[in-house]
Structure 1
Amino acid sequence: MQQLPKLSANAIEILKTTKNLLAFSGGSDSTALFFILKELNIKFDVALVNYQTRKESSLEEEYAKQLAKQNNKECFTLTCKLENNNFEHNARSTRYTFFQEIIDKNAYDVLLTAHHLNDKFEWFLMQLSRGAGAVELSGMNEVEETQNFKTIRPLLHVEKKQIETFLHVNKIKYFLDASNNDKKYFRNQIRNEFSNAFCEKYANGIKKSFDYLQRDTKRLLPKNTQHIKNLYILENNEDDLINIRGIDKIVKKLGTLLSSASREEILRTKDCIVSSKIAVVFSQNKIYICPWIKITMDKKFKEACRVEKIPSKIRPYMYKENISIETIL
């Protein structure tokens, strides 16, 4: 194929040895990634969510099934109908819950998404407009570890215009989503009024800036993290900004995104359950983060935890996973 966008060597090296699932929509970005991966002989299957929001939705689903069948790939689909209230948030939650279920059931190692450089810069501007620090501004990474799989964005350094050129030159069919031009969505305002034009003109400088920003933000994150299964223990830093950045990164690994309200609650209470899923508890010197569960515990274990001042919210997970008290003292 002509005008093949170049994926990073790091992404290719990982994807050659893993079981991969592509988040597919039928739009330009995921369609381009489908054919790029195929050209590179990287094995993958596809997953699509049909929200039934447009007349093309069923055609996009059929296109995904057709491509999968022609290329001997599994195609997982979900058809659903969501309320218009807070649609973007609900759609993302539904989509990633669906992906997680597929990954768990079929033992995929990697979730592939088609985010590209323009998406990354768009996110940067959105965060900048809301008031954000360096960690938040650096945004999405090419490779991110989550609870039991990696999320890889192989096109993250590729410009949108390169993707469009690749599709045009190779006469590859894809669908246009008219809702991407609807300015009632803040993301679309940023994209259409600022990010696309700026990115097209200054792409090389943006790439370099993101590289610098990525390296700089690593210095702002906690270094000493103890990890036993899905129980994470951070040092309790005097600077709560460093603490919340470390917590945010770990909570994301466990499959949840922190809202501004959640961050404020964590720092205010120092002892809470996030989204009814994850326990975050501060002690004098440590911060404990783990899945929140309810389970009947042995009395001796509970008493031993009390004596050693193990926070009550992390005890059930420790008991279920047979994590000894001695390993976290």
Structure 2
Amino acid sequence: MKIKVVDFICDHQLMEKNKTILIGVSGGPDSMALLHLLYTMREDWNLNVHVVTVDHQLRPGDSEADVYYVKEICEKWDIPFISSVVDVTTYKKKFKVSTQVAARKLRYDVFREKMNQFQADYLALGHHGDDQIETLIMSFARTTNLHGLTGIPVTRDFSKGKIIRPLLCVTKKEIENYCKKNDIHPRIDSTNHDSYYTRNDIRKSIVPKLKERNSNLHTTMQLLSESLQEDEQYLISEAKKVVEKVITFNENSKKASLWISTFKSYPLPLQRRAFRLTLDYLYADGMPDQLTHMHESIFLSLINEEKNNKVVHFPKQLFIERSYDNLFFYFKEEKSTSKEFYREISEIPARISLPNGAIVAITYVDKFLENNHDKYTYVCLEEQLTFPIHIRTRRPGDRMRYKGLKGSKKIKDILIDEKVPRNERENIYIVADNTDKIIWLIGMKKAILPKTIHKSNYLLFEYIAKD
């Protein structure tokens, strides 16, 4: 078995000589065989080997005995050993996850911490060929995309190094024989035989029948896994290019937007993966468990349907809004962070800071400026206004009159006509006088004010965006 594993390591370039390697050891046959194998390679490869064991406290008495057993072996073989205790029960209750999910999360947290502590280049884990078979079968039963069908990776980036799985080329039986041959007496976890767990049921009832058809099933499944992973990695790399070209991210507020017509020009497999990459960015703390294939279908229907304006709700208060040919991703803000804004200006000159970081500056000027066509400036006579001046966000029922319009129009309808996304409408600011006459919908519409017989100073309003 050692020759097969070493060849596998070399063929897949899993590790180099003269490196530090951390081995996750539970005391079971798989991890003990891996530990012994790397122990025998230690001198030839000049490996700096460390062992870490995690006690999940799920089998009182037995789990402590497992830790003690591994510690004794490491002392016998002169290998540095460290153990950690994690509270799986408390974690699963707090975060409402399964025992397996909680145990894996806490276990990998320990691995990450110890990788940093020992400055390890590799974390070696004892997953083997039968684990790969079981994982792929479980994926076939519940996964709806290629990403979920790729199985256990031979290697992947982890912490500041890599996770490696040198035993994926061998079967459980080969590992058990290796232990017997080398006088290794591993600990046996009784829960591995409990058919209540899906993986155990697959191991006992499905895998043996498949092996009757193909005695080399673990090799077939491993090659399939590697092939699917290579395909997926290529598609993800192409999807990242789509994201860079088409999707705009706002790092400060966890928002994203895309131009639908351009996005739809890419093949559907890239659209799906670009969508998933976008969610990876937005859900920085981890994808919600509630996300399913249904949400991907909702997203695809949103960009393909004829309806121009629609909002859909995703888990954790994520909203996806279609506004004409744009799609916006944003999180709903708490009510306590209301965007309502109001300031009064009685004295000129004045500078008002807005919540979005921009400034409204008001000054006197001697004459009408020729650049008044600029949408970020507005000029009128002081006599045309009733002081104090108000700068505020919009309110229900707000209306204004502007050039080319018969009568007045609701601000809400103007924003719709201007194709302002629903989630951005609360960030639009209004300048009005003390009679609540709206004179400027900043960046969009300017009121035509009644002429006055008096001549007074001109007022210049300027909207200065944040750099």
1:52 paired to 2:64: no
Q: Where do residues 265-280 of structure 1 align in structure 2 (5 Å cutoff)?
A: 267=296
Distance 1:122 1:259 in 2: 25
Gaps of at least 5 residues in structure 2 are 248-262, 303-311, 317-324, 330-352, 359-467
Shift of 1:201: 6.0
- Comparing 256-265 with 108-117, greater Cα deviation is found at 256-265
Distance 2:236 2:73 in 1: 44
Shift of 1:235: 6.7
- Comparing 90-99 with 43-52, greater Cα deviation is found at 43-52
1:88 paired to 2:100: yes
Q: Deviations over 1:181-207 (max 9, x none)?
A: 112211111112112553476242442
Partner of 1:117: 129
1:126 paired to 2:138: yes
Contact 2:133/2:221 (<8 A) preserved: no
Shift of 1:222: 2.7
Contact 1:225/1:234 (<8 A) preserved: no
Partner of 2:158: 146
Distance 1:32 1:191 in 2: 20
- Comparing 68-77 with 265-274, greater Cα deviation is found at 265-274
Q: SS at the partner of 2:15?
A: helix
Classify 1:206/1:272 alpha carbon distance in 2 versus 1 (closer, same or farther; 3 Å). farther
Shift of 1:133: 3.5
Partner of 1:315: none
Distance 2:15 2:88 in 1: 35
Contact 2:129/2:170 (<8 A) preserved: yes
Contact 2:21/2:123 (<8 A) preserved: yes
Classify 1:3/1:223 alpha carbon distance in 2 versus 1 (closer, same or farther; 3 Å). closer
Classify 1:205/1:63 alpha carbon distance in 2 versus 1 (closer, same or farther; 3 Å). closer
1:6 paired to 2:33: no
Shift of 1:57: 1.2
Partner of 2:19: 18
Q: Where do residues 150-299 of structure 1 align in structure 2 (5 Å cutoff)?
A: 150-196=162-208, 198-199=210-211, 202-220=214-232, 221-224=235-238, 233=244, 238=264, 239=267, 241-245=269-273, 247=276, 258=287, 261-262=290-291, 267=296
- Comparing 64-73 with 203-212, greater Cα deviation is found at 203-212
Amino acid of the structure 2 residue aligned with 1:156? L
1:98 paired to 2:110: yes
Partner of 2:79: 73
Classify 1:262/1:62 alpha carbon distance in 2 versus 1 (closer, same or farther; 3 Å). same
Shift of 1:173: 1.6
Q: TM-score, normalised by structure 2?
A: 0.51
Shift of 1:175: 0.6
Contact 1:124/1:138 (<8 A) preserved: yes
Classify 1:209/1:24 alpha carbon distance in 2 versus 1 (closer, same or farther; 3 Å). closer
1:108 paired to 2:120: yes
- The structure having more radius of gyration, on CA atoms, is 2
Distance 2:21 2:101 in 1: 25
Contact 1:11/1:152 (<8 A) preserved: no
Percent identity over paired residues:
22
Classify 1:114/1:272 alpha carbon distance in 2 versus 1 (closer, same or farther; 3 Å). farther
Contact 1:5/1:166 (<8 A) preserved: no
Partner of 2:37: 36
Distance 1:44 1:148 in 2: 17
Amino acid of the structure 2 residue aligned with 1:78? S
Contact 2:14/2:155 (<8 A) preserved: no
Which has the larger helix fraction?
1
Gaps of at least 5 residues in structure 1 are 276-283, 289-298, 305-329
Amino acid of the structure 1 residue aligned with 2:140? L
Distance 1:240 1:141 in 2: 25
Larger relative contact order, structure 1 or 2 (CA cutoff 8 Å, min sep 6): 1
Distance 2:207 2:15 in 1: 30
CA RMSD in angstroms, aligned pairs only: 4.3
Contact 1:266/1:272 (<8 A) preserved: no
Distance 1:258 1:31 in 2: 34
Distance 1:119 1:128 in 2: 14
Classify 1:118/1:88 alpha carbon distance in 2 versus 1 (closer, same or farther; 3 Å). same
Q: TM-score, normalised by structure 1?
A: 0.69
